[in-house]
Amino acid sequence: MLALTEAAVGVIHDLTTQPGLPEGTGLRITSQPDNGSGPAYALSLSQVPEAADEVIMAQDARVYLEQGVAQQFQDKVLDARIDEQGEIAFLISQQASPMR
């Protein structure tokens, strides 16, 4: 299952709890057509998940993953960074392997 860093949880919570958004709003991640440079994804705010979405809850942050994206992100971590201009960047990386 997709894991969220503390930074991602904080950014998603801030985005989805802005005034005027209904309770339960989450960040929805969907796949986009491959344009030849590898997989592409779209992020949007969604009031409710779609019927087939996988719902990730971490503290007060909700992420809704389109079914195909959920499969692709099973072993991934979502992180977020905010630059000096306030621009948000979400980053996907591989989860660390458990130590044996």
User: Rounded CA gap, 70 and 56, in Å?
Assistant: 10
User: Rounded CA gap, 13 and 68, in Å?
Assistant: 24
Answering whether pTM is above 0.85, one says yes
pLDDT-derived band at 99 (thresholds 50, 70, 90) equals low
Residues 25, 14 contacting (CB under 8 angstroms): no
User: Rounded CA gap, 4 and 12, in Å?
Assistant: 10
User: Rounded CA gap, 17 and 4, in Å?
Assistant: 17
Torsion sign, CA atoms 70, 41, 60, 93: positive
pLDDT tens per residue across span 43-92: 999 999 999 999 999 998 999 999 989 999 999 999 999 999 999 999 99
Provide, rounded to the nearest whole percent, the portion of the chain with pLDDT above 90.
73
Length of the chain counted residue by residue: 100
